[in-house]
Structure 1
Amino acid sequence: MYYCDPCDRYFNSDNSYNQHVENSSAHRNFEPSDDGYYSSNAEPEFECSGCDSWFWSSVARENHHISQHGHRYCTPCKRMFMNENNLMQHQHSKVHQGFPMKCPFCPTQYTTASALIIHLESGRCPSGSNRERINAAIRHLDKNHVITTPLMEYSSPSFTNIATERSWNGLCYECSMCHRGFNTLQGLNGHLRSPVHDQRMYRCPGPSCGREFIVLSGLVQHVESESCGVMRFANVQKSASGGIDKMVRKMIGS
C-alpha cells in the first residue's frame, strides 16, 4: 500500500500513487525528495477541527474527519463533536428530523447555522452577500470586541488581490504571499480570493479558550460543538433562525 500523507489517502499500486501526485491540484507545489516522499515549503490551509492535523485540500480534511474521527463526526452537517455520545444526541435532534435552516435571501436550506453562514460567505447567494460584507457587519455589531480581535487595521472589503501572468515562475503560478504553486492562473486567483491569507478577526468568547478564526463560519462551527460552553447547539440554531445578526447579538450579549 502507498500512503499520501498530505491527502490522508492509500493507494494499491505505485502507478496509482504517482498518477495521484501528478494530477491532484493538492500537489502542484510539491517536489519529490530522495526518500520518495513529496515536500514543500508552503503551508497547508485546512485544519482538522478534531485534532492538530492540517491538510492541503478540504477533500483531504473531510476524508480524515470520516476515517479518523468518524465516531464523533457528523458527515451531513460537517460537524465535529466532543465524543460519540454527543454525536448520537445530535443525530436524534431536530437537525436530523426535517427542520432545515433556511437562507433568508434565496430558496436554499441548510442543516446548521454554520452551513448557512458558509453559503453567505461564499458569494454564491443571489443577495450579493459575501465574506467581506459579513465581516464588516460583524465589526459594526461587536464594538466591544467580544468575538472579534481588536486588530490595528482590517483589509478593505473593496480590495481584491488579482494575479496575472507575471505570477508564472517557469514551473507554476506562484502565490507571492505563501509561495504555493498552482497549475493554472485560475487556480491561483481562486486561492487569493479564499480567506487563507485573511487576518484572524474572530475569537471564541469562552473565558478559557481564546481560539481565533479567519471567518465567522469557523467561529460558529466551534460554538456549535459546545466545546467551550459559550452556547448550546440548539440555542445557536434557534437564534440564527431569526437572522445572523440576532445570533451574533446573543453571542456578544447585546
Structure 2
Amino acid sequence: MSLGPHLYYDGEDYKCLLCDRWFETEKALYDHCRYTSRHEWCETCLRVFVSTTAKNQHLFSSPVHSHICTLCASRPRFDTAWELKAHRVDYHNLCDICGKYFNNENDLRMASDFSYRSPNVANFLNLQHRQRHQARNLQCYGCYQFFKTFSGMLIHLESGRCPSGTDIDDINRLARECYQSRKYIDTEGDYVCPGCDKFCSKLSGLFQHVEDSLSCSYLKESGQCLAKLEHYISWKVQR
C-alpha cells in the first residue's frame, strides 16, 4: 500500500521515515503524524510533509483544499477549517457560537445572553463568548496587527505571514526553549495540555483549547506554565 514518500508499510508494521519510528497499526501511525510537531500533516489528504514550505506548496497547488476566505479580496487559504473560522472571527466579526456575522466588534460582544440556560451551560457559553467577542486589543509581538486572543496571534505567526518573518518553526523552537516546556510537551515531542492531557498538533491549538476550556483556562493565569510561555514568546519575537 502507498502511504506517500515519508511513510512506509512493510506488510506488517508502519514506519514514519522522518522520525525513524515504527507503529503497529495505521491508526497509530496517523495519530503520530497528526500530533507531532516534528513535521507537517495534511488531514484532508492523509499526507505528511517534511517542512512548512512543502506543506504550503501542497495547500496552494492541490484542488481538494477549500479552506479559503471568500470574504477577503485576497482570498487567503488556510490549512484547516478551524484556522479559517478563527480568521473570520478576528477579521469579519463572526460569532462561532451562533454562526452569525455582525457589522462591528461592539455588536458582536453584545450579542450573547445565556442567563436562561442551566448554570454549567451558561458558564461555558459565556466563556466562549467572552473569548470570541472581546475587543481586538492584543498587538502582535512581531508586527502592528491586533488580535482578540493569543491563539489568534499564534495562527498569524505560525502561518509565516507576519512581517517579522516568524514562522511555525520559530514558534516550535521557542516553545521548546522555554524552561516550562516539560509541562506542555510530552516525551514524544508533542504538545499536550497539562490540565487534561489533550493532544494538540500546533501551539496555537493548545492555546485555543485553554482559552475555550473552563477547566483548563487557569493555565494562562499569571504564574502558570502557559502564561510564562506567552511571556517568553513576547520577549523573543521582535518587531
Shorter-chain TM-score bucket reads 0.3 to 0.5
TM-score normalised to structure 2 length: 0.43
TM-score under structure 1 normalisation?
A: 0.41
Q: Which has the larger radius of gyration?
A: 1
